[in-house]
A and B are shown apart, each in its own frame.
Chain A
């Protein structure tokens, strides 16, 4: 089963690498991984989409906790949460097809962000399933290139909290 794990890590040299190394060293899957800054200086947030049975997910969460740089690990799948992904999709078009492409883009509440006389680049955000659906519909036009951000996610309602820095 797919799980979305949110990890707050100290923004230190090699922290990202440590997380990625742990996944490969233990043979866990990574479907997507994304990292960015947070509201707190020197703390980054990683969102990893992974999969496995209960025992594996339990191990993933514990192994992440075990890394010295990780401050908080939450399996968001266990909580009410929002998930989003952003995709930039360059689609080929022939004469007379542009309206149709733009129409599809509108249906998926996307934006046209770039255009030339052969292709048009769309920006579509949403849960990963929505992006996949858009890609399916756009495929017949010929997809030139895709860039996907990977999933990011956040808990609904109550904010994710993490401990204040404490003296060890």
Chain B
């Protein structure tokens, strides 16, 4: 530690601040505007800099790290294109409330606005996709700004914060003193819910006959899984989870109804449709969850717990809003429950729906089924792996078929739906997760969007299993084309253009295997799980025209759910 009250350069202050914040990893890519930081980085040993191969990759790595650990993910890129390349990752983090601090280089203060080389107004560009952002205009403000950035990113509803660092801020010096208290007068997240609202909610819940817990990512972020289990198990409450909520409650448990919404289970959606009290915990009534708003939980008394007041009454008007941290509020709710609700009849009904229409797929002669691959993976890893899915059909199948035991184990781009998320996010997660397998699951389309990061995985010898579910189509778009766009398979057919993924992976230095046979799936997965000395790639060539069911079409109500393909023999 440098003594207080010494003259330090901006670049040195930068590292002092990162030390204060106990940063372990920076995911970054050097460039002209950040040279000074990289010069100092050479002598820094308290953190590790991870070199991505594209700044978008670095941003998703930081997201993967943050989602897997709950800590702030740190990104460092240069000005101009370095900064603009982070935009997708920042928008992704904003939508999924991922705590990131993204440091962007900037041209020297005197050149800002002059269309200087590699200049981009990244503060302006990222304003609507950050929780907050800063342009440092005085080196004496640098330390306090970085401290505020970490505080804002990680407190309340987490989110990305951009700190733009003009080159002269890093080169010039000032007296450095570690910042202590700081003031953000307009920012005070509310952690404890209103006691009367909680009391009211507890009594409504205790009197419910058909209660349902609707659990989102907020429960995982606040570390409320133990509190959730206590509330649910003591009162025998059924639970449905959103895509981001998966892992908040053990997927194997009888009390879990699985995911709800567009590709949710039949029982979860029927439960929403018929419940009399809906307790939403850290979830935001996203359109992929609700479908047609007026038909969503139409008879239910709605209680909504969220730390972000804007989430309340945004999409659905609720009866009892509780602004607060899920962990505290759920614990208070448990304490305030004076009796347990009578739910035996409700469970009979729920189990009836579960039996009536379970998740299922046919193992027929048409070829390898994605569902089979994922179910096998779930069984082999006993729900213990960290599974990082990309975006599309395979993502929904992961959500349906992988039974997550733990929070922070299902990492996925939910809100923004960013194809290309999985490969780098799995890399970021693998730096933090050492005791469990990290598995990146991709479609053949999304895999090509950040394919360059395979080399990052190899360079750091990360034991990640990269899986490609290859149907040679942009499968989810193809599914919509088949169902809603008159079977016009416009630009979703990759059969003639996909590369040989095994050769590509081997060129990056990864062992790689492919199969289209169900009887080889288990063996390949087992071998890959035992391969701990570096990344490995498995390609599963699956049935090309399979669709994800059940499905509630956009804007439809749950009663319009499509449960099965009408003409299963259809070929494209």
Pair A168/B127 contact, Cβ less than 8 Å? no
Cβ proximity bits B132-143 to A, threshold 8 Å, 1 near / 0 not: 110101000000
Pair B127/A14 contact, Cβ less than 8 Å? yes
Query: Which of B127, B133, B181, B182 neighbours the largest number of chain A CB atoms within 10 Å of its CB?
Result: B127
Q: Given that A59-B314, A168-B151, A168-B188 are known contacts, is A65 also in contact with B128, CB under 8 Å in the complex?
A: no
CA distance A160 to B317 in the complex (A): 30
Cβ proximity bits A17-38 to B, threshold 8 Å, 1 near / 0 not: 1100110010000000000000
Chain B residues near A62 (CB, 8 Å)?
Answer: 309-310, 312
Q: Residue of A at shortest CB range from B132?
A: A68
Chain B residues near A72 (CB, 8 Å)?
Answer: 186
Q: Does A67 contact B (CB under 8 A)?
A: yes
CA distance A17 to B124 in the complex (A): 8
Chain A residues near B184 (CB, 8 Å)?
Answer: 68, 168
From B133, B186, B317, give the contact of A55 (CB < 8 A).
Answer: B317
CA distance A59 to B316 in the complex (A): 12
Pair A70/B186 contact, Cβ less than 8 Å? yes
Q: Residue of B at shortest CB range from A24?
A: B128
From A25, A66, A166, give the contact of B185 (CB < 8 A).
Answer: A166
Cβ proximity bits B295-319 to A, threshold 8 Å, 1 near / 0 not: 0000000000000111011100100
Question: Main secondary structure on chain A at its contact with chain B?
Answer: mixed
B276–chain A nearest beta-carbon distance, Å = 24
CA distance A78 to B317 in the complex (A): 21
Chain B residues near A165 (CB, 8 Å)?
Answer: 183, 185
Pair B127/A66 contact, Cβ less than 8 Å? no
CA distance A65 to B133 in the complex (A): 16
Pair A21/B186 contact, Cβ less than 8 Å? no
From A14, A55, A70, A71, give the contact of B123 (CB < 8 A).
Answer: A14
Chain B residues near A22 (CB, 8 Å)?
Answer: 128
Pair A167/B124 contact, Cβ less than 8 Å? no
Pair B183/A25 contact, Cβ less than 8 Å? no
Pair A68/B187 contact, Cβ less than 8 Å? yes
Q: Residue of B at shortest CB range from A14?
A: B123
Q: Residue of B at shortest CB range from A18?
A: B127
Cβ proximity bits A63-79 to B, threshold 8 Å, 1 near / 0 not: 10111111110000000
Cβ proximity bits B178-219 to A, threshold 8 Å, 1 near / 0 not: 000111111110000000000000000000000000000000
Q: Does B131 contact A (CB under 8 A)?
A: yes
A61–chain B nearest beta-carbon distance, Å = 9
CA distance A71 to B181 in the complex (A): 19
CA distance A58 to B318 in the complex (A): 13
* Contact residues of B between 270 and 328, Cβ < 8 Å to A: 308-310, 312-314, 317
Chain B residues near A59 (CB, 8 Å)?
Answer: 310, 313-314
From B128, B308, B312, B317, give the contact of A21 (CB < 8 A).
Answer: B128
Chain A residues near B310 (CB, 8 Å)?
Answer: 59, 62-63, 65-66
Q: Residue of B at shortest CB range from A55?
A: B313
* Contact residues of A between 1 and 57, Cβ < 8 Å to B: 9-10, 13-14, 17-18, 21-22, 25, 55
Pair A25/B308 contact, Cβ less than 8 Å? no
CA distance A59 to B312 in the complex (A): 9
Chain A residues near B185 (CB, 8 Å)?
Answer: 10, 71, 163, 165-166
Q: Does B101 contact A (CB under 8 A)?
A: no
* Contact residues of B between 117 and 157, Cβ < 8 Å to A: 123-124, 127-128, 131-133, 135, 137, 151-152
> Could you list which residues of chain B lie within 8 angstroms of chain A, going by C-beta atoms?
123-124, 127-128, 131-133, 135, 137, 151-152, 181-188, 308-310, 312-314, 317
Known A14-B133, A59-B313; 7 more pairs at CB < 8 Å: A10-B185, A65-B310, A66-B310, A68-B186, A69-B186, A70-B186, A71-B185
The 10 closest A-B CB pairs, nearest first, are: A25-B128, A71-B186, A68-B132, A62-B310, A167-B181, A165-B185, A70-B186, A21-B127, A62-B309, A68-B187
